Amino acid sequence: MTPGTVRRGAVPHRDRPRVAVVSLSQGTRPDDLRRGLESVLAQQGVELDVVCVGNGWQPVGLPDGVRALALPENLGIPAGRNAGAAAVDGDYVFFLDDDASVPSPTFLRDAIDLFEHDPSLGLVQPRVVDPTGTANPRRWVPRIRKGDPEQSSPVFSVWEGAVVLPMDVWRAVGGWGAEYFYAHEGIELAWRVWDAGRRTWYAGELVANHPAIDPARHREYVRLNARNRVWLARRNLPAVLRPLYVGSWATIQVLRWWRSPRRLATWFSGVAEGWRTDCGPVHVMGWLTIGRMTLAGRPPVV
């Protein structure tokens, strides 16, 4: 798949659009996985092609209508999703984590309506809600100024657990960045949608369910977070902007963690690793894209 510009309005209107669905799992949450898959199978007004990717696991006990794709080892989150997307086909592709679900049976049809009414959209992320009523983490709203979670807006990163794209956009942007393993692949995907001439959209009126669990900020997470931040800049930004982007995030981390010198040391070790190691394929976004992102509210320097 080669990144490039997508012609607007390329997806034809269908009474029953075809949706390719990719669910990625390591088999550690069977009840959540079944809940999410059943919420997909209950979708109305669409035709489905659903695959459950076992990342280092053979999926078993799946609902009827879901195919299994076993990967012999854990390839990481983005590479696992890419493997699933290569095994399905449709007018749109929907990625759903194995601990997420969609409560409305018209979720996919409603998301597709957004694309059909606004051809400038290239990716939609729904509002994420804990179904038990627990307070929802602010990080689920991918904006600097979080504001009202029900308010829709263009965004420049996504919560990766439930996203919908037209298939032509998905193919044009080159998929998820497999090299990341995990962390920041959602930022790159959002940026590349913008660079393909579309907009990444947070849809506050659409809802996906997910438990509000605080992710462990362990040493490996901190290291990969920092390494991938540098890789993100090297893979996507013009050379002049790369140090500005990494430097702005270094400042943010120092302000956040100045009382945790060991964590900061790990983070800066990851930054150094990001500069000296192979970041994988590079696709530098154009200055026109940077201008569009800036006018929409967030230049890619923070």
Ordered strands of the 121-129 beta sheet: 66-71, 47-55, 18-25, 92-97, 162-166, 121-129, 199-209, 153-154
Q: Residue ranges of the domains in the chain?
A: 18-209, 219-295
Rounded Cα–Cα distance for residues 288 and 281 (Å): 21
Query: Kindly report the CA angle at 7 between 284 and 14, in degrees rounded to 5?
Result: 135
Q: 228, 90, 105, 232: which is closest to 166 by C-alpha?
A: 90
**What φ, ψ does residue 65 adopt, rounded to 5°?**
100, 0
- pLDDT single digits (tens) 66-77: 999 999 999 999
Burial class (CB in 10 A: 0-12, 13-18, 19+), 300: buried
Structure confidence at residue 2 (pLDDT)? 44
C-alpha distances (whole Å) from 301 to each of 4, 20, 190, 243 are: 22, 34, 14, 9
What is the per-residue pLDDT for 220? 85
Is the distance from CB of 200 to CB of 123 less than 8 angstroms?
A: yes
Task: Please indicate, yes or no, whether the overall pTM of this predicted structure exceeds 0.75.
Answer: yes
* pLDDT value of position 1: 45
CATH 3.90.550.10 assigned to 18-209: yes
Mention every residue, 6+ apart, whose C-beta is less than 8 A from residue 155: 125, 142, 143, 190, 200, 201, 202
Q: Which amino acid is at 249?
A: W
Position 217 scores a pLDDT of 62
d(CA 166, CA 67): 21
DSSP 3-state of 15: coil
Tokens of 227: 């390494």
| pLDDT number for residue 302 | 81
Residue 13 is predicted with a pLDDT of: 55
List the one residue out of 34, 23, 18 whose CA is nearest residue 162. 23
The predicted structure's pLDDT at residue 113:
98
CB-CB contact of 167 with 1 (8 Å): no
d(CA 111, CA 114): 5
The DSSP line for 80-132 is HHHHHHTT---SEEEEEETT-B---TTHHHHHHHHHHH-TTEEEEEEEEE-TT
Output the pLDDT for position 5. Answer: 64
Q: What percent of the chain has pLDDT over 70?
A: 94
Amino acid (1-letter code) at residue 97:
D
Q: φ and ψ at 265, to 5 degrees?
A: -60, -40
Which stretches in the chain have pLDDT values below 50? 1-2, 10
Place of tokens 């602010």: 138
pLDDT tens track for 35-46: 999 999 999 999
In 3D space, the residue among 223, 228, 156 whose CA is nearest the CA of residue 190 turns out to be 156
For residue 139, the 8-state DSSP code is: G
